[in-house]
């Protein structure tokens, strides 16, 4: 009797899990209007090798901030570093 109840509970639980999985898989992809193709290309590259994009971008931003802000960029970084 106890084994039968356990099997029924297991079957119900499995059915709920399968239904939840199907519900999650049924979500439609996001549409961003005219930006959708660009978004898909960018995210595809980020999934494969994010460091190839983030490293040059961060280096560019750091050099740009050093050129634009000069010694103030060092002071801003020091303040931010001390507060975190």
- Whole-number Å distance between alpha carbons of 6 and 52: 52
| Alpha-carbon gap, residue 75 to 79, rounded angstroms | 6
Rounded Cα distance, 78 and 16, in Å: 53
Q: Tell me, yes or no, if the pTM score tops 0.85.
A: no
Q: How far apart are CA 78 and CA 69, in angstroms?
A: 14
> CA-to-CA distance for 5 and 3, rounded, in angstroms?
5
Band (pLDDT 50/70/90 cuts) for residue 3 is low
Domain positions in the chain: 49-84
- Greater pLDDT, 29 or 71: 71
* Token pair of 75 as six digits: 């002071």
Q: What is the pLDDT of residues 12-23, one digit of tens each?
A: 888 888 888 777
pLDDT per position as a tens digit, 35-70: 888 888 888 888 888 888 899 999 999 899 889 998
Q: What pLDDT score was predicted for residue 70?
A: 87
């Amino acid at each position: 009797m106890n084994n039968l109840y356990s099997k029924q509970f297991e079957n119900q639980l499995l059915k709920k899990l399968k239904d939840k999985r199907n519900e999650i898989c049924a979500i439609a992809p996001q549409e961003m209007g005219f930006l959708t193709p660009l978004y898909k290309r960018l995210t595809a590259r980020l999934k494969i090798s994010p460091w190839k994009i983030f490293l040059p971008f961060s280096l560019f931003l750091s050099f740009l901030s050093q050129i634009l802000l000069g010694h103030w960029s060092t002071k801003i970084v020091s303040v931010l570093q001390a507060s975190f």
